[in-house]
Amino acid sequence: MAKPVTIQNSSVVFGNHAQKKAAIELLDGELSPQEIRERTGATVAVRNVNLDIKEGELFVIVGLSGSGKSSLIRTLNLLNRPATGKTFVGDRNLLEMSKKELRRYRRNEVSMVFQNFALLTHRTVIRNVQYPLEIQGVSKKEYTERAEEAIRMVGLEGWEHYMPSQLSGGMRQRVGLARALTNDPEVLLMDEPYSALDPLIRREMQNELIKLEDEMDRTIIFITHDMNEAFRLGDRIALMKDAEMVQIGKPDEFFDNPASDYVRNFIADVDKTRILKVRSIMNKPAYIAKQGDRVKDTLEAVKKRELSFTYVTDENRKFLGYVTLDQLKRSRGKTIDRLINEDETVIYRNAFLREAWPKLKEAEYDLPVVDGKGRLRGVLDYDVVVDALAD
């Protein structure tokens, strides 16, 4: 199960004890990080950052090098310990964990993909991938099976017994990703995972990540300095500069309401229609009925929300169709099962807006948005799309 991540007033400061103490005093003041460093000798890498990352979200933090984005993501597995604030994963504050709890958290709930892969070069591919489970005392049979599964997921079957030095950069990062998936984490941290790869491979890896992400249920936090990458991948994006958050929002919000000239410059060479994805501007359906629900209950819920129809899914959230308000009013049956209008016109949530447009024009109602497994994930509103493409 994915978990939400909440960062409250978090700051990361580097320096010796006295320097840090002096710098923390100045965090709430007006001085820039540069000035704080000149005065105290401590480096402020992250300053009073607040983030609310939802469960299952693919959240991208973007910024130039030195903006503090890497320092921030590393507070989520405590490779960096924040000097101030709170860091919640689920409902637990990481900063209050004992050593043992922290180790358990790192083993079971979080994992990380590194910029330069950070593979254990003395181990074969499969022995790299099994490492997170091996150190937990999982049986050999189990960790081998799960490592093989992770290797399959990233498309490296057949390479299990090669050494990392025999693989290309893209393949090495696949090993890094597989290793981060073996312990089935709720939160996946990716620290500039594709920055060391050449552009073609990078594009391929991004597409694979989008596909993989679709099949898994986990919160992903992704760091990059590449705005195009950020917009291609992110459900929401946070832009950092000089240790602080400049703007946080869905991709289209950056275009609609850039918070400053800095943001405007940053997104200047991003091609919007190629980058805006259905998922980034879709809304949550106001109500979803389940197969087997009683007509009476459904009617009540739909009326209460002043809707004219509702989508229906099965118990696994798989999209089945819709039921209109009129149907519900007229029905004499007990459950809504026989009323469902099967609807073929759905849109895949990772489609770009360009592809969604023709379908949207045909549709009678707003378009239901589904993931790769056909589960209902949201609804695409005609007006929202028009707005997004307008400027």
Binding site for other proteins (CB under 8 A): 77, 79, 103-108, 110-112, 114-123, 131-132, 134-136, 163-165, 179, 183
Contact 383, 279 (CB under 8 A): no
Q: What is the helix, strand, coil percentage profile of the chain, to 5? A: 40, 25, 35
Q: Which residue number, 77 or 327, has a Cβ lying nearer to other proteins?
A: 77
Contact 63, 241 (CB under 8 A): yes
Q: Which residue number, 103 or 354, has a Cβ lying nearer to other proteins?
A: 103
Q: Which residue number, 167 or 346, has a Cβ lying nearer to other proteins?
A: 167
What's the count of helices (H) and strands (E) in the chain, helices before strands?
A: 17, 17
Q: Which residue number, 64 or 135, has a Cβ lying nearer to other proteins?
A: 135
Q: How far apart are CA 23 and CA 35, in angstroms?
A: 10
Q: Which distant-in-sequence residues (6+ apart) come within 8 Å of 336 by Cβ?
A: 289, 291, 292, 293, 294, 295, 298, 312, 323, 328
Which residue pairs, CB below 8 angstroms and at least 24 apart, start in 65-69?
65/225, 67/240, 67/241, 67/242, 67/243, 68/12, 68/240, 68/242, 68/243, 68/244, 69/223, 69/225, 69/240
Contact 77, 40 (CB under 8 A): no
Q: How far is the CB of 180 from other proteins (least distance, A)?
A: 9
Residue 56 phi, psi (nearest 5) = 75, 5
Q: How far apart are CA 353 and CA 337, in angstroms?
A: 32
DSSP element (H, E) containing 354: helix 353-362
> Which amino acid would we find at residue 261?
D
Q: How far is the CB of 78 from other proteins (least distance, A)?
A: 9
Q: How far is the CB of 128 from other proteins (least distance, A)?
A: 9
Q: Which residue number, 186 or 371, has a Cβ lying nearer to other proteins?
A: 186
Q: How far is the CB of 102 from other proteins (least distance, A)?
A: 8
Q: How far is the CB of 99 from other proteins (least distance, A)?
A: 9
Q: Which residue number, 122 or 305, has a Cβ lying nearer to other proteins?
A: 122
Q: How far is the CB of 209 from other proteins (least distance, A)?
A: 19
Q: Which residue number, 40 or 77, has a Cβ lying nearer to other proteins?
A: 77
Q: How far is the CB of 135 from other proteins (least distance, A)?
A: 5
